[in-house]
Structure 1
Amino acid sequence: MFVPQLDRNAREGLQKQIMRQIIAAIASGMLRPNTPLPGIREASVRWGVSRNTVVLVFEHLETEGYLQTRPSRGTFIHPTPPCSTSSVAQLGNERGAAAASLGEPSWPGQAFIGDPAQERQTPDGVFNLGFGSNMPLYRFPAWQKTIERLLLRDNWKRGGEFQPNAGLPFLRSTLARWLHLRHGVTIDPQQIIIVTGLQQAHSIIAHALLKTGDHVILEDPCYPGKRQLYEKLGMHVINGAIDRKGIKLADLAPEQARLLCVNPGCHIPTNVTLSLPRRKHIAALAMQDRCLVFEEAMYDLLSFEKKPIPSLLSLTGGRNLLHAGLFAPCLGGGLMLGYLVVPWSFLPAVLEAKLLTGNGLPWLEQEALARMLDSGELDNALRRTRVVMMRRREVFMAALERFFGRMEFCGTEHAPRLSWFLPGGFGKVQPFLTEAEKAGIRFPGNYAAASSRSHPGLPDLPNLVSHGYGEISEEDIPALFSRLSNHT
């Protein structure tokens, strides 16, 4: 039976000691999936700690996906717990073998087509600083209970029917109410189209509303797949430079462009938030019908800002504005569901283009997401995720400053992303990333370093390191930097 070995004189608190040892026991196989743990009272007595400490340990590890509470039965090791990379690395010499198996890292600009990182999974013992999360929605008890209810009753029969191409009506109506609460804008459910991701949303808009030779303004740098899409379809891409306040329109002529694409809440990869004056400028362009605007909302659901700046959807009321959101960055890449809000005048063409991309979406995920939204459980899951991510961000930033010294961060208001400038004494970004990957630390998709264009507003952009921290636990962060110090 598992009993943690506690050092009451250690600087590390009892709660963290217990969590670390449970994770290590899971990684080593000592605590196997579905193994029951003692109840709170029993654990308190056996482990020699307060009940409150046990409660906090269980809640934290359940949120992280290591434990699972089963009503009327107790607390168990999760059937599919996440891998604790630091614990696995301590069990043997996997680190060297895993690092050797990585091969040469891909050029950081290849975050889309031709990137080997898109095809390979992270080996055990390798730290992955990608933009996913080890707290995906499907690990939350509320999501699991919703799925069980749908499958155990006769609801599952609906899964055998073809679903509406624009998305499940229940999900679209629920999203309309949810968006109204978030943005203060009345949206008809028919204006909402369910998509499998922002890339599909861009593809639909490009095919429905643009033609060869049209000018499209994209933030520079931006997600490479988006740029490649418009260029492959024959559009002329105009680079919108980024500074500390977001995209700079002063040097552009947006009225001459057919489409302006922006991510106001969290520019990728700099994490810069678009300022309110610039949002008002873009909103005026849309409302005066001078330019069609595409607003992305990728990481807004996990914003750390106490009072977020109004979205373009809020400022325009949806006039001449396309608004797209995605749940995957916040709730796990496995939930590739997003939405696209379309003005009435563009709706027929967009629906036709959507029909050409596929004949519908899976019923189960749409129905479950709609029920989570409708019951408020999705917002509860987001709040819990936000608390964990805020704490993890603080630990990671503190570890960076202990390792590098004084740091310059770029946009720290959104999870699970972090961007910072590599200090001068550590050379250039690409060699640094290469050495880090040799040490078994992966920075996928750091494509800011690949940009050859000058950026007067952000002259240090070539030194930007952009990564996630959602796929590692707090307990792994010290081990990550210990490994980094031995290889750089």
Structure 2
Amino acid sequence: MRSGSGTFVADPLPDDCVGAVQQPAGVTDVARDTAVPGRDVRHPPVLLKTKALQMARSGIGEHRIDFRYCSANWRNFPLREWRQFMIENVSRASANISGYSPPEGLPELRQAIADHVSTNRAIAVDPEQVVVTAGAQEALNLIGRLFIQPSVRVAVENPCYRGAAYAFQSYGCTLVPLPLDDQGARIDSLEGTGASLIYVTPSHQFPTGVTMSQRRRLELLSWAESNGAYIVEDDYDSDFRYDGPPLTALAGLNDNTSVIYLGTFSKSVGSGLRTGYAIVPRQLIEPMRHVKALASCGNPWIEQIVLADFIGRGAFERHLRRIRQAYGQTRAALLDAMETHFGPADISGAAGGMHVMWKLPSHFPTAAEVASIAAAEGVGIYTVAQAGAYEFGPQQSPRDIVLGYSLLTPEAAKEGVARIAHGLSRVAPGLSAPPIAETGWRARDGVAARAL
């Protein structure tokens, strides 16, 4: 090339001209960071229309005593058995640990889950109907992908678990509120809604704790079958029942053609395991497997095989008995302390689960104000919204407090209630300031909201 002949661009460009070059410290990539005047880059709009589902993560608790509704207490994690099954399975892992698992879950785990729900929830199910998921939240999204588009109407309890409402809304559906009473969701309110999907938490309604009566369960099944709808039964709290025998699940009351049953190990083992399951009617086996494969190609092999051994070799049942006893003792202490300091308190949901709901007397401040008063005493208590519930329209439950107790010892629960009463004694007529018997308890470990 001779001088003055002009500038020429090679076609194609040499490779060394388009390679990534590390910039020296403090040097800015002008080509990347300098806007081109008049250039308007138009990208496709984000079509997802939903709100962020926020979960509290591990960390130092801000309260001395925290009644946060949360996942399993880490102190109860079955570390010895889990370590044993982990070592055994890793030692003989061979190609399993580096290969893909079946999208619907390992056969060993699906069999163990089928056996567990048959014994404990009276659900007669074949392992082929079980799909292993990354918690119930993934199952809700798989269901949304199968059934929901903008023309679909989905009925949900009011209030209900926020993660379900947000997941369904993200697929464009219209949510239909089902009012609640002391027997659970009002089935008569379904008439004329055109709902094709119904989401309920019948064993221990979130957040009220109400148990759906047998009559309502049968009414719901009848309505779904008459109207060609599916029921999504979220049975997240079913492992913890303190008064009476375990309840038969909705999925165990019919031939399982209308109920999609969701279970999770977040409450019983730990939310960090990120393992749950859906039990689907036979006509949904293939569609659910297909959508699961598109979503994640299956869960990690090691967690599945260890959990399968944990359930299949009886360790899970022993673990459940231990933590059921521990949570039951704390629950009893909580209820006793509420009676001592507040008299016949209006408590719902005490028969099972890991939380109760307290409806404040009319002469008390609102739930938000009471939560602030308790926080000043070093105690965390939560309004329905703060606990992770979704409500339609204006706040439906301004006088409701959610009290979770799985993180606490009986002594800590008693101290916490005494501190709440001490704070309220300054603003609520008729309450005297009780002495505080400090237990030395401090919430040193982190807590998590309902992680499914």
TM-score (normalizing by structure 1): 0.70
What is the DSSP-based 3-state SS (H/G/I as helix, E as strand, rest coil) of the residue aligned with 1:379? helix
The structure number with the bigger radius of gyration is 2
Aligned to 2:85: 146
Q: Which residue number corresponds to residue 410 of structure 2?
A: 474
d(CA) in 1 for partners of 2:204 and 2:221? 17
Match of 2:149? Answer: 211
Distance 1:137 1:318 in 2: 34
- 1:319 aligned partner: 257
* Aligned 1:218-233 pairs, distance under 5 A: 218-233=156-171
User: CA-to-partner distance for each residue in 1:201-238, whole Å, 9 max, x for gaps?
Assistant: 11101101222210100011001121122222110110
**Match runs of 1:329-478 below 5 Å:** 329-443=267-381, 446-447=384-385, 451=391, 461-478=397-414
1:172 aligns with 2:116: no
Kept in 2: contact 1:451–1:462 (CA 8 A): no
- In structure 2, the residue matched to 1:235 is 173
Question: 1:380 Cα shift?
Answer: 1.2
2:420 counterpart letter in structure 1: L
Contact 1:132 1:333 (C-alpha < 8 Å) held by counterparts: yes
8 Å contact from structure 1 (residues 183, 314) kept in 2: yes
Q: Which moved more, 1:478-487 or 1:404-413?
A: 478-487
Question: Residues 129 and 285 of structure 2 are in contact (CA less than 8 Å); yes or no, is this contact kept in structure 1?
Answer: yes
State the 1:485 CA deviation: 4.4
Q: Give 3-state SS (helix, strand or coil) of 2:332's partner.
A: helix
Q: Measure, in 1, the Cα distance between the counterparts of 2:224 and 2:242.
A: 28
Give the number of equivalent residue pairs. Answer: 371
Cα distance change of structure 1 residues 119 and 392 upon mapping to structure 2, 3 Å threshold: closer
Asked if 2 retains the 8 angstrom alpha-carbon contact of 1:446 and 1:467, the reply is no
Deviations 1:280-332 (A, max 9, x none): 11122344463211111111111123233321111112112211111112322
Measured at CA, do residues 191 and 235 of structure 1 come closer, stay the same or move farther in structure 2, by a change above 3 Å?
same
| Residues in 2 aligned to 1:186 and 1:310: alpha-carbon distance in whole angstroms | 11
Shift of 1:418: 1.4
| Corresponding residue SS for 2:187 | coil
Secondary structure, counterpart of 2:290 in structure 1: helix
Give the deviation of 1:279 after TM superposition: 0.5
Report the residue type matching 1:170 in the other structure: E
- Once the two structures are superposed, the pairs formed by residues 20-419 of structure 1 within 5 Å of their partners are 113=52, 115=54, 118-119=56-57, 121-123=59-61, 126-130=64-68, 131-134=70-73, 138-151=77-90, 153-155=91-93, 158-253=96-191, 256-288=194-226, 290-419=228-357
Counterpart contact for 1:136–1:331, Cα < 8 Å:
no
Structure 2 letter corresponding to 1:292: Y
C-alpha distance in structure 1 between counterparts of 2:185 and 2:82, whole Å: 37
Deviation for aligned residue 1:407: 0.7
Instruction: Tell me the distance in 1 between the aligned counterparts of 2:94 and 2:421.
Output: 52
Q: How far 1:114 moved relative to its partner? A: 6.3
User: What is the identity percentage for the equivalent residue pairs of Structure 1 and Structure 2?
Assistant: 23
CA distance in 1, matches of 2:170, 2:62: 37
Counterparts of 1:360 and 1:137, CA distance in 2: 28
Name 2:12's counterpart in structure 1.
Answer: none
- Alpha-carbon distance in 2 for matches of 1:205, 1:440: 41
Write the deviation string for residues 185-216 of structure 1: whole angstroms up to 9, x where unpaired.
43221211001122211110110122221010
User: Within 2, Cα distance between the matches of 1:437 and 1:149?
Assistant: 46
Match of 1:92 in 2: none
Q: Secondary structure of the equivalent of 1:329?
A: coil
TM-superposed CA distance for 1:465, in Å, is 1.0
Give the match's secondary structure for 2:347. Answer: coil
Structure 1 residue identity aligned to 2:86: I
Unaligned runs of 5+ in 2: 1-50, 425-452
**TM-fit CA distance, 1:156:** 6.9
Deviation for aligned residue 1:181? 2.2
User: 1:482 Cα shift?
Assistant: 4.4
User: Which structure ranks higher in relative contact order (CA pairs < 8 Å, sequence separation ≥ 6)?
Assistant: 2
Identify the structure with the greater helix proportion. 1
Counterpart contact for 1:209–1:350, Cα < 8 Å:
no
> Please, which moves more after superposition, 298-307 or 235-244?
298-307
In structure 2, relative to structure 1, the CA distance for the partners of 1:189 and 1:415 (3 Å cut) is same
Q: Is the 8 A contact 1:135 1:385 kept in 2?
A: no
Render the CA deviation track for 1:438-470: whole Å, top value 9, x for unaligned.
333223573289846589xxx8x4312112100
Shift of 1:432: 0.9
Contact 1:261/1:294, CA 8 A, preserved across alignment: yes
1:425 Cα offset (Å): 3.3
Q: Which residue of 2 aligns with 1:53?
A: none
In 1, Cα distance between the equivalents of 2:98 and 2:319? 29
Asked if the contact 2:122/2:249 (under 8 Å) is kept, the reply is no
Q: Structure 1 pair 341/254, CA: closer, same or farther in 2 (3 Å)?
A: farther
